[in-house]
Amino acid sequence: MPPRANVQGVQEQLEQALRDRAGVVALRTHPELAWALRSAKRRGEVVAVWPGIYAAQGDATDFRVRVLALITADPDAILIGPSAEVALGWRVAEANEVITATSHRLQTQQRGYRLVRRRIAPDDVATWSDGDVPAADRVAVRITAPAVTAVDLARERGSDAVDNALRQGVTLTDLNSVLDRYRLPGNAELRRILRDSRDEPWSAAERVAQRALRDHGIEGWLANRAVARTATRFAYPDIAFDDLLLAIEIDGYEHHGGLAAFLSDRERDLDLTLLGWQVVRVAAGWVLQHADEFAAAVQAIVAIRATLLRAAPA
């Protein structure tokens, strides 16, 4: 134990070290804080997130702090799968979520982490820097690029992961390219999913709807195409028949159940109606359970719309 006069100073050094490293401190880089860390751990003020790497008790379960602990242990570690998904902003981390990464330096598993050995090409590695913290505290973390992340997730979750990636702007060309570069078990099934995604659905219901339209030979439509509402605002109808100015929207309650989404949809529908479009909304659950009926209904709506447009005065 240091002299009593130095205790407060050492404690202040520990607090400063935690601030300097955005919430984590490694014993190997601060051996002078060994006593302070042991004392703080006994008092429950800090916990070991990784052997020899500590964080404040209240921060130890935070996704960002635990990622920082990982890259302190191995700066070359790369977040993959669900952890890369969080870093990309595709979803919010769950409480105490396991950090998934590839590391060639760390030899043992640690609670709260899942480490694998895996080769990832340099061109398939991106960097993440948490924009929610002050610039001085940001630390760049290596993650798999969006297309690689999407393929990893699709191996576990199937087509839902592909649909989400397409919503995030990842292209089918990028996804197929990843399968070409990484020949792994399960690629054949992923190829099938990507072929089924050729019209780029953004949800499971859209995927079923598109498949039904193709199976029934209904043509002349595009999925999620940008339609100008104003000079600066766009709508993206789930299924658009451009020649008929007909938009088919497939609504799932989980995505459209809130007031803000309800109001936004109605505002968008009004803009399209003022431009001459007809907007038809159907429930996602109905499409999933009655795909053939959906296709037949669309076929009938298309015929009626074409008749009305031909009959309209020039």
What is the DSSP-derived secondary structure letter of residue 96? T
185/209 same-domain check: no
Residue 300 within any structural domain of the chain:
yes
Torsions phi, psi of 59, nearest 5? -105, -5
Amino acid 284: pLDDT: 92
3-state SS, residue 141: strand
**pLDDT exceeds 50 at position 244:** yes
Residue linked to tokens 């397409």: 166
Residues 116-122: contacts with CB within 8 Å, 24+ apart? 116/80, 118/80, 120/78, 120/80, 120/144, 120/148, 121/181
190/271 same-domain check: no
CB-based burial, 107-134: b 16+ in 10 Å, e otherwise: eeebebbebeeeebeeebebebebeeee
How confident is residue 263, by pLDDT bands cut at 50, 70 and 90? confident
Domain region containing 10: 1-56
Residue 191 within any structural domain of the chain:
yes
Distance CA 34, CA 16 (A): 14
pTM score: 0.74
Distance CA 299, CA 53 (A): 63
The one-letter code for the residue type at 46 is V
Amino acid 89: pLDDT: 92
Amino acid 254: pLDDT: 59
**pLDDT exceeds 70 at position 257:** no
Contact 234, 227 (CB under 8 A): yes
Residue 228 within any structural domain of the chain:
yes
Residue 252 within any structural domain of the chain:
yes
More confident position, 35 or 256? 35
Q: Which helix (H) or strand (E) holds 289?
A: helix 284-289
At a CB cut-off of 8 Å and minimum separation 6, what does 129 contact?
Answer: 138, 139, 140, 141
Residue linked to tokens 């202040």: 12
**pLDDT exceeds 80 at position 282:** yes
Measured between alpha carbons, how far is residue 157 from residues 16, 78, 160, 253 in Å? 43, 21, 6, 21
At a CB cut-off of 8 Å and minimum separation 6, what does 194 contact?
Answer: 162, 172, 175, 176, 179
Residue 249 within any structural domain of the chain:
yes
Range 265-288 average pLDDT: 93
Amino acid 6: pLDDT: 52
**pLDDT exceeds 60 at position 176:** yes
More confident position, 55 or 290? 290
The one-letter code for the residue type at 97 is E
Contact 65, 49 (CB under 8 A): yes
**pLDDT exceeds 50 at position 179:** yes
How confident is residue 5, by pLDDT bands cut at 50, 70 and 90? very low
Distance CA 77, CA 100 (A): 10
Q: How many CA atoms lie within 13 A of 241 on its CB side?
A: 20
Torsions phi, psi of 110, nearest 5? -130, 140
**pLDDT exceeds 70 at position 136:** no
Mean pLDDT (the chain) is 87
Number of structural domains found in the chain: 3
More confident position, 160 or 255? 160
Amino acid 275: pLDDT: 94
Range 213-226 average pLDDT: 94
Q: Of the candidates 196, 226, 260, which is a domain's last residue? A: 196
Q: The tokens of 263 are what?
A: 């109001």
Q: Of the candidates 133, 162, 196, which is a domain's last residue? A: 196
Amino acid 4: pLDDT: 46
230/300 same-domain check: yes
Amino acid 314: pLDDT: 63
Q: What CATH code is carried by the domain that includes residue 245?
A: 3.40.960.10
Residue 259 within any structural domain of the chain:
yes
Cα-to-chain-centroid distance, residue 301: 35
**pLDDT exceeds 80 at position 23:** no
188/227 same-domain check: no
Range 282-290 average pLDDT: 94
The one-letter code for the residue type at 58 is G
pLDDT digits (tens, 9 = 90+) for 181-218: 998 889 999 999 999 998 888 889 999 999 999 999 99
Range 205-234 average pLDDT: 93
Measured between alpha carbons, how far is residue 137 from residues 129, 131, 245 in Å? 10, 10, 51
